[in-house]
Amino acid sequence: MKFFLILLLPLALFAKLNIAVSYPYIGALTKSIGGKNINIIVLAKGDWDPHFVVPRPSLISKIRNADGLIINGGQLEIGWLPQLINRGANPKTKVGAKSFLDLSHHIKMILKPKNVDRSGGDIHPDGNPHFHLDPNNILILADTIKRYLSSIDITNSKAYEKNYEIFIKMFKIKIDEWNKKMSNKKGLKVIQFHNNLAYFIKAYGLKNIATIEPLPGIPASSKHIMNLIKLIKKEKPFCILHDVYHSTKTAKYISSKTDIPIVLMPHDINSLDSIKDLTSLFDYLTSALDD
Ligand SMILES: [Zn+2]
């Protein structure tokens, strides 16, 4: 009996916090700040459509075993996460719990529609929730996550502060590098499939002239496609920026009629094989528009 007690004691003392997160980018950022004191449980895979994750039973058990939950928010998870949280029935991951963090509450969201036509199916009525694709927002989110981890695990708050400082220092150097790389892209016109890159485009002064989806989540009609082709011929955008999870069929048709290329833009870690962390995500995005 004594032998078992001795074995169990250190485990209890050094138990790591299990933090569930909705998307890989949140996992990577939380791991950078949490370091060895936390385990990360990522719910959605990086190459999945972040709007439409299938709420598998395996995800419910992940929620059930978590000590906390961090979500993107801004209704990005509205189609899949609320039911997982309900079925997980874990007080620590409930909306409003101290250990529940909605990152969107700490970011100024852009593109909130003036009139939301829910019957029209706009999936982003609170504004555009893809704010992590502006690297400057990553700095805000890092601070938010540091405060969150320190509030639920005060004993390790010094370690979180230290990890945060190291991360911020590294990331600011990278931001300068990305700013330099993108400085000759100001005013560059682009078309997108879905406005995934709204914050990236704003950060680097690009100009999104249209989306293949007429509204977020709504497929293009043939009339909309014909109008897009006319617009592209007139405005001559550089390319069509496309996410990795929607079919490129419509974009390919438009490309064939207008002669502008399609450029795949990863939205999260592991959305493409080469994207292994936040740094490689932005390294890729800031190189994708080079000739
Ligand atoms: Zn979206």
The model's pLDDT over 263-278, given as tens digits with 9 standing for 90+, comes to 999 999 999 999 999 9
Per-residue pLDDT reduced to its tens digit, 30-77: 999 999 999 999 999 999 999 999 999 999 999 999 999 999 999 999
Q: Residue 39's beta-bridge partner residues? A: 18
pLDDT of 134 higher than 90: yes
Structural domain contains residue 3 = no
Q: How far is the CA of 4 from the centre of ligand 1 (A)?
A: 51
Structural domain contains residue 7 = no
pLDDT of 7 higher than 90: no
Mean of pLDDT values over 196-220: 95
One-letter amino acid identity for 192? Q
Q: What is the model's pTM?
A: 0.93
- Token readout for 192 is 């997108």
Q: How far is the CA of 130 from the centre of ligand 1 (A)?
A: 6
Q: How far is the CA of 166 from the centre of ligand 1 (A)?
A: 31
Q: What is the pLDDT of residue 257?
A: 97
Q: How far is the CA of 19 from the centre of ligand 1 (A)?
A: 24
Residue 138: strand, helix, or coil: helix
**Do 249 and 153 reside in the same domain of the chain?**
no
pLDDT of 289 higher than 80: yes
Phi first, then psi: give them for residue 50, nearest 5 degrees.
Answer: -65, -20
**Do 124 and 202 reside in the same domain of the chain?**
no
**Do 28 and 160 reside in the same domain of the chain?**
yes
**Do 107 and 236 reside in the same domain of the chain?**
no
- Nearest partner of 21 among 3, 49, 46, judged by Cα: 46
Q: How far is the CA of 194 from the centre of ligand 1 (A)?
A: 7
Give the single-character DSSP code of 65: T
Residue numbers of the domain that contains 126: 12-176
**Do 123 and 227 reside in the same domain of the chain?**
no
Structural domain contains residue 290 = no
Q: State the chain's mean pLDDT as an integer.
A: 93
**Do 124 and 47 reside in the same domain of the chain?**
yes
Give the pLDDT band of residue 15 (cuts 50, 70, 90).
confident
pLDDT of 248 higher than 90: yes
Q: How many domains does the chain have?
A: 2
**Do 121 and 230 reside in the same domain of the chain?**
no
pLDDT of 102 higher than 60: yes
Percent of the chain with pLDDT over 70: 93
Structural domain contains residue 2 = no
Q: How far is the CA of 52 from the centre of ligand 1 (A)?
A: 10
Continuous H helices in the chain? 2-13, 24-34, 57-64, 81-88, 135-152, 157-182, 198-203, 222-235, 249-258, 278-285
**Do 91 and 112 reside in the same domain of the chain?**
yes
Give the end of a domain, one of 141, 156, 176. 176
Q: How far is the CA of 118 from the centre of ligand 1 (A)?
A: 15
**Do 90 and 202 reside in the same domain of the chain?**
no
Q: How far is the CA of 237 from the centre of ligand 1 (A)?
A: 22
- How far out from the chain centre does Cα 84 lie? 19
**Do 259 and 126 reside in the same domain of the chain?**
no
pLDDT of 122 higher than 80: no
Mean of pLDDT values over 199-226: 95
Structural domain contains residue 1 = no
Phi first, then psi: give them for residue 66, nearest 5 degrees.
Answer: -90, 150
Give the end of a domain, one of 112, 145, 176. 176
Q: What is the pLDDT of residue 3?
A: 53
Structural domain contains residue 214 = yes
Q: What is the pLDDT of residue 142?
A: 98
pLDDT of 1 higher than 80: no
Q: How far is the CA of 26 from the centre of ligand 1 (A)?
A: 16
Q: What angle is formed at CA 133 by the lines to CA 149 and CA 192, rounded to 5 degrees?
A: 150
Give the end of a domain, one of 123, 144, 176. 176
Structural domain contains residue 235 = yes
Question: Where residue 196 sits, what CATH number does that domain have?
Answer: 3.40.50.1980
**Do 154 and 45 reside in the same domain of the chain?**
yes
Q: How far is the CA of 196 from the centre of ligand 1 (A)?
A: 6
**Do 160 and 45 reside in the same domain of the chain?**
yes
pLDDT of 131 higher than 60: yes
- Nearest partner of 88 among 116, 113, 55, 111, judged by Cα: 55
- Cβ-count burial of 287 within 10 angstroms (0-12 exposed, 13-18 middle, 19+ buried)? exposed
Query: What DSSP string runs through 109-126?
Result: -B---SS--GGGT-S-TT
Q: Residue 21's beta-bridge partner residues? A: 42, 70
Q: How far is the CA of 6 from the centre of ligand 1 (A)?
A: 51
Structural domain contains residue 150 = yes
- How far out from the chain centre does Cα 25 lie? 6
Q: What is the pLDDT of residue 123?
A: 78
